[in-house]
């Protein structure tokens, strides 16, 4: 499932879904534009994960709160907790491995 997140929708999204992966991007970021189809393709492989995007030009406050300093940045949440962050281009394989790791975290590891 793919959706756009804002500061107003972030908390409810991460609290209501077991696993959420967020792509922080900007329209001027060429690496972000290269990563976008990868993110979309991988999203189709995981029905139990919410994939979300945040346009940092429009959501500067949210990007600041999440500590986003470079783009693209992936942020992962598990059971409402922030458990992962990575900046830079990510391959399909790497993204799949990241998601698998996040999905299998136990409450003690979160």
**One of 32, 52, 68, 75 is an active-site residue; which one?**
32
**One of 18, 29, 85, 105 is an active-site residue; which one?**
29
Distance in angstroms (rounded) separating the CA atoms of residues 2 and 11 = 16
CB contact burial 75-100 (16+ within 10 A = b; e otherwise) = bbbbeeeebbeeeeebeeeebeebbe
- Catalytic, 29? Answer yes
Q: Which of 88, 5, 27 is nearest to 98 (CA)?
A: 88
Q: Is 45 helix (H, G, I), strand (E, B) or coil?
A: coil
- Catalytic, 110? Answer no
Active site residues: 29, 32
């Amino acid at each position: 499932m793919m959706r756009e997140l804002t500061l107003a929708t972030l908390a409810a999204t991460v609290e209501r879904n077991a696993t959420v992966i967020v792509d922080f991007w900007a329209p001027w970021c060429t690496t972000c534009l290269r990563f976008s189809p990868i993110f979309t393709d991988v999203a189709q492989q995981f029905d139990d994960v919410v994939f979300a995007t945040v346009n940092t030009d429009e959501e500067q406050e949210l990007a600041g709160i999440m500590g986003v300093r470079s783009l693209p940045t992936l942020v992962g949440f598990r059971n409402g907790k922030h458990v992962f962050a990575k900046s830079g281009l990510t391959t399909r394989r790497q993204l799949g491995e990241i998601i698998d790791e996040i999905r299998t975290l136990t409450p003690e590891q979160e």
